[in-house]
Amino acid sequence: MKTRTESDSMGQIEVPKDALWGSNTQRSLQNFKIGTNKMPLELIHSIALVKKAAAYANFKTGVLSQEKKNLIWEICDEIIAGQHDEQFPLVIWQTGSGTQTNMNVNEVVAFRIQQKKFGDLSQKPLFVHPNDDVNKSQSTNDVFPTSMRVAAYKALHTKLLPQIKNLMTEFEQKAKEYGHIVRTGRTHMMDATPISFEQNLLSYYHQLKMGLNSLENSMSFLLELPLGGTASGSGLNAPENYDKIAIEYLKTETGFNFTPIACKSTAMAAHDAFVAVSASLKTLATIIMKIANDLRLLSSGPRCGLAEVRIPENEPGSSIMPGKVNPTQIEAITMVCAQVMGNDAAVTIGGMQGHLELNVFMPMIISNVLNSSNLLADSIQSFIVNCVAGMEPDEENMKNYLEKSLMLATALNPHIGYSNAAKIAQYANKNGITLREAAIANGVSESDFDKWVKPEEMV
C-alpha cells in the first residue's frame, strides 16, 4: 500500500496515500483495534453539520474568512450527503470523549479541501487547518455532545416516532373494525371473565401512547445544546455570541427547536438526557414485548393452541416439519426489545461516568441510543407490514371458548351468591358439561340462566 507521511506533535506517521484523514485518525486506527463496531454515520453526519454551524458563527463573529467558511461548508455538505462515508473508519471503542472522531472529521474536511484546491494531499501547508480552522472556537468536549444530541433527536423524530404512531393507528383501526367480538378473558393464564376484542386492541393503543409520551418528554432534553462551552464549559477561545449564532443556524437547518443550554458544563460532564431517553426506549421495548407476546399466545396453534387470532403466514417455519408456520415477526421484534433493554443497561452505566468536568463514555452512549432507536423503528415497521396489518380474529374459536368458559359463573353471583356459583362452576368442570347445563342441574331455571348470563353484557 502506498503511503504519505503526516506529522503532528508526537512525530511522523504513515497514512494511506489517498486517504482524506491525517495523523490523528491514523494513530487511532493503530491504537484501538477493538471490535468492528464503527462510529455511527448518523453521528458523523451530525458532526459535519455542527462544523458548518461553527464555521458560520466564526465567520459572523469575524474570526474566520468567508473563503474558508465557504470551503468548510462545501466539504461538510459532501460528508452529510454520504460522499465520504468510507473516510470515517474509527471504532466506537476509542477515547471516551470522542476526540479522535472529532479530529477524523476535522482532518477529512481539511484534506478534502486541499485535494479539491491543489489536487495533491501531500502538499503542505494545508490551506485550511484541521485544528485552527475547522475546529476553531471548538473543543471535542462541546462538539461531540452537541452532535450526539443532534443525531439522536433526528433519528428519534424522523424514524421512530412515526412508526410508533403508525402502530397505534393500526390497533385503533382494528379496534373499530372488530369491536363487536367478545372473547374469553384470561388472568394468571387461566380462564377469566369475558372481554371485548376491542378492549384488547385499545389497551395496546393506550400502552403505546404512554410510551410515546414518555419518549417525547425525554427527547425535549436533547434540544439543549452545549456548543460554545469548548473544553470545560467556560467558553474559552470562543468569540462573544458564537454559541447563539451557531445554535440558531442548527435550528434553522434542521427545523428542530435547538437552544443553548443554560449551563454548558452540565451537558459535557453528564449525559442524563441520554439516560432519560434510553429509559424511555426501554419502556417502549417493555410495552412492545407485552403486546407481541399477547399476539404470540393468541395466534398459537393452528389446532393445538389458542388460535383466537390469525396472523399472516410469511414463510415456512421448519426445516423438518412440513406445513409448519411460525410467528417470526413476533420473534424478531421481541429479540429487538431484549437488545434495547441491554443497550439501556450500558447507557445507564455510561451515564454514571461523569467524572468532574467530562463524561468519558460518550461514543458508547450515543452508539447504543442510536442502535436502540433504529432497531425499534425498523422492527416496528416490519411488525406492522408483515404481522399486525394482516392480523384478524378467529371469531368461531373465540365464540367456542366463550361458550365453554366456566368464569361466566361470575354473572350468577348477584343472584345466587358466590358459593353457589362456585359449586356450579366446579360441577360443570368435574362432569365435563357446559355451565348452563350445570346451572340447570343445580336448580337454576333455563330462563333465569339465559337472562342473567349474557357475555356481551359482561364486558
| Catalytic center residues | 188, 318
**Cα 377 vs. chain centroid, distance in angstroms?**
6
- Integer Cα distance of 334 and 382 in angstroms: 12
Q: In sequence order, which ranges of 234-361 are alpha helices (DSSP H)? A: 242-254, 266-269, 272-298, 328-351
- Integer Cα distance of 368 and 371 in angstroms: 5
- Integer Cα distance of 346 and 358 in angstroms: 18
> What's the chain's length in residues?
459
- Integer Cα distance of 215 and 282 in angstroms: 10
- Integer Cα distance of 51 and 42 in angstroms: 14
- Integer Cα distance of 59 and 53 in angstroms: 10
**Cα four-point dihedral sign 55, 56, 58, 63:** positive
* DSSP codes joined into one string, 22-51: -HHHHHHHHH----S-BPPHHHHHHHHHHH
